[in-house]
Amino acid sequence: EAGVAQSPRYKIIEKRQSVAFWCNPISGHATLYWYQQILGQGPKLLIQFQNNGVVDDSQLPKDRFSAERLKGVDSTLKIQPAKLEDSAVYLCASSPGYGDSPLHFGNGTRLTVT
């Protein structure tokens, strides 16, 4: 099966600019996650979707971050305006959404904010 696709792989922007990341999950996976991974740390959950509804966005900085999941398939994560501390890898993951199903991760987008 095709894996989780993310684009772009790398992005460099200046602070106060906006940026968007795209994710295409594994076909048929109901649950989609966005994680932020700062260098040297573990991934931190930003938002979790079940189909096209938000299950958890408690750690999403909603004043600058937004996310949507189009028709319960692809998802975009946007940052506007970006801050220096947003420099991180943004990982998208998906899972079938039932039982103990593990997460399948994409390779991430490495964001550098200068």
**HEC assignment per residue over the chain:** CCCCEEECCEEEECCCCCEEEEEECCCCCCEEEEEEECCCCCCEEEEEEECCEEEECCCCCCCCEEEEEHHHCCEEEEECCCCHHHCEEEEEEEECCCCCCCCEECCCEEEEEC
The answer to whether 25 contacts other proteins (rule: CB under 8 A) is: no
Among 41, 53, 63, 71, binds other proteins (CB under 8 A): 41
Q: Minimum distance from CB of 55 to other proteins (Å)?
A: 8
Which token pair is 85?
């501390």
Question: Interface with other proteins includes 50 (CB under 8 A)?
Answer: no
Find the shortest distance in angstroms from Cβ 17 to other proteins: 24
Q: Is 43 in the site for other proteins (CB under 8 A)?
A: yes
Residue selected from 20, 66, 73, 105 as contacting other proteins according to rule CB under 8 A:
105
Interaction site with other proteins (CB under 8 A): 4, 33, 35, 41-45, 48, 56, 91, 93, 100, 102-108, 110
